Amino acid sequence: MRHAPILLMLVTLLAGCSTAPVTGRQQLILVSEEQIAEQGRVAYQQILTEKGASSDSRLNTTVQRVGERIVASADVPAWNWRFAVIDDSTPNAFALPGGYVGVNSGLFQVVEGEDQLAAVIGHEIGHVAARHHAERVSRQALVDTGVSTVGGDTGLANVLAAGATLGLILPFSRDQESEADAIGLRYMAEAGYDPRAAVQVWRNFKRLGSAGGPQFLATHPAPEERIKRLEALLPEAMAVYESRRS
């Protein structure tokens, strides 16, 4: 445990070095942008290899158009963002560090129109912009490795890198989901998409869930909770949306 003071000092120094967009929340980030972006690339390629990309040109064109519009309007990392429709019937989507965004073909069973699609893509890009993946990997590394590994032969960077891929595919915390909702709502409004569509998306998911919907909903806040929070955020988001239309 001789390295505990070193780790405590490191955590203290880094905890205030990253701030989530829109919410302004201070974050603990112990992994570099380069490290986490590389892990995002690896995870993205793995998903494409396992599930494959959809050949539906209409869906791919729509996702590309909506995604590029959000990225162009939002305060996001200047990566070469990539958008793909994944051949998966589960109604879900994801975004990974490095600018990799995937929308499952099954999501189009739930979303109706580009505004609702923008709500989902904005939410997923919000996770990346807020560095939720790096935050989660950082926290998990501290828990899993313990303070005794810091300063050893492998070093913290190697420990984080080894656990990064696993960290990327684990469910986000409910707090991070709520934060991504708030960020995504702002991003879609800035891109000129109607924020009210985000509320409707979760009404759609609520109906799907009541009919024995996708298992991934169990790891997310209940649709009722999300709807209430989004409705509370709507006045500010609508003001942004209206200002972009004027």
Cα separation, 33 vs 29, whole angstroms: 10
Phi, psi of 19 (to 5 degrees): -130, 130
From the list 86, 85, 91, the residue with the least C-alpha distance to 214 is: 91
Q: Are the C-beta atoms of residues 84 and 55 closer than 8 Å to each other? A: no
Residue with tokens 């709520």: 178
CA 217 to chain centre: 15
Examine the residue annotation and report whether 177 is marked as an active-site residue of this protein.
Answer: no
**Strands of the sheet with 82-86, listed across from one edge:** 82-86, 100-104, 93-96
Per annotation, catalytic residue among 34, 38, 124, 190: 124
- Catalytic residue annotation: 124
